[in-house]
Amino acid sequence: MRYRVSKSSIVSPQRILGYILTTILVFLQGSVLFSGSRVLLIVFLFVAFGIFIIKNIKFDKFIFIVFFFLIIVSIAQFFKFSFISYTTLIGTLTRFLLPYFFIKIINKNYLKYFVNVLFFFTIISLLLYIPSVLFPAFYNFLLSLSGSSGIRNLMEENNLIVYTVETDVRLGFLRNSGFFWEPGAFSGFLIVALLCNIVINRRLWNFKNIIFLFTIITTFSTSGYIAMFMVVLFYYMVNLNKRITYFLIPLLCLSAWYSYFQLDFLGERINTEIQMTEKGDVKYTGRLGSGEKDFQDIKKYPLIGRGRNVNTRFESYDKNDILEFHRTNGVTDFAVKYGMLFWIFYFFNIYKSFRLFCENYNFSSKFALYILLVIFTIGFSQTFFQGTFFISFLYLHVLYKRNPPITKARRKANAKDFSRYTYIQS
């Protein structure tokens, strides 16, 4: 008797390790409990380096280029500001080294694992979020449970490690934060998972993506909704013929226009930010307000930036003045801290990574530019680009080789490989 077993169903030590490392990388940036922990960053860096050496994995030249670039920027900032924080410098180098070691160990399946990891925690969030909306008693139970866990006293968040109990309400509904620090952050990671799963499966509409789309809606995130419209629009722009695209683009634009004016947290919030920025309200630090303040710093220090440490990042830092020194625009904040030279280098290589990612999954390489635009959109309201997970995109291209042009023969060969199975005789 023969049993047909899919190769993908075979559990291997490498696959288990890949899922563990991917989960750690996401939690190190997204988790309320683990993000920002210097101790965990250093511990996992040494662990990853040990695995790297044991597996005899070769270093790529690119990691030395990144390391050299960061050192040069740090030295230039030292001469400019006559100040250097070795703690900040070590933290920066650790943040950029750790993702490289992780993805080199995980290898090409990294983004596949990420999609599955986030899908798993997305399901957990829905299993806790939906009953919280329907049954106030269940929500109060989760709230009291998070209070007794000790995390609230430690991190000032209602967190249960795998789920954050959100207290913010929009349109009369609770918002879904997943295990992240806020719903906007959760929506950003969901958007990235949606983009990756589209490329991997070469289609928008499948079960996982429907779950991702529905969960993005539950976050009630302004940037999440805008990015979601963009993803759907860009997908059809690269996958349908021009006639259908010309029909869909106005339809999607009308949907976006309707949402903008009907949903208060979209139109009203954006209009408020524009008005406050135009008035020159220096205390206002929304997306546009943060961007305006950052732009002034970029003009002063365009090439080398101001660094991550608050002593150089701001003219005169006062930790008690939260509104004045809080920054939410990740795109401009990254440029202020590292300078425009590194900013261009960083995002060019992210684009390069996603272009090769698309090519290796036989998906339109044009989609890579759209991915970058969407990443800019979600980063416009979150300081994503300094976290371990988003930094990993900088290195993705070292995992992929450029594919030759796709021919009919190659398409047939890919179809055969996709349907091939291993038969195990009992």
CA torsion through residues 77, 334, 363, 28, sign: positive
Any domain includes 358:
yes
**pLDDT at residue 214, as a whole number:** 97
Q: Is-contact 354 371, C-beta < 8 A?
A: yes
Q: How far is CA 114 from the centre of its chain?
A: 11
Is residue 301 in some structural domain? Answer: yes
pLDDT in tens, 5-14: 444 445 788 9
Q: Identify the segments of the chain with pLDDT beneath 70.
A: 1-10, 148-156, 241-287, 317-326, 402-426
**Cα torsion 272, 310, 348, 231: sign:** negative
Q: Per the domain annotation, does 81 fall within a domain? A: yes
167 in any annotated domain: yes
Using CB atoms within 10 A of its CB, is residue 52 exposed (0-12), middle (13-18) or buried (19+)?
middle
Residue 170's contacts (CB-CB under 8 Å, 6 or more residues apart) are 220, 264, 265
Residue 139 maps to a domain: yes
Question: What does the pLDDT read at residue 272?
Answer: 54
What one-letter code names the amino acid at 180? F
Task: Name the domain count of the chain.
Answer: 1
Give DSSP secondary structure letters for 377-397.
Answer: HHHTSS-GGGSHHHHGGGGGG
In whole angstroms, give the CA distance from residue 172 to residue 163.
Answer: 21
- Whether 140 is covered by a domain: the verdict is yes
d(CA 247, CA 201): 25
CA dihedral 23, 28, 33, 37 (to 10 degrees): 150
> How buried is residue 55: exposed, middle or buried, by Cβ count under 10 Å (0-12/13-18/19+)?
exposed
Q: What DSSP string describes 42-78?
A: HHHHHHHHHHHHHTTPPPPHHHHHHHHHHHHHHHHHH
Q: What is the pLDDT of residue 48?
A: 95
For residue 420, tell me if it sits in a domain. no
Which residues form the domain of 137? 14-398
Asked if residue 412 is part of any domain, the answer here is no
Alpha-carbon gap, residue 389 to 186, rounded angstroms? 13
Predicted pLDDT at 424:
37
pLDDT digits (tens, 9 = 90+) for 324-333: 556 778 899 9
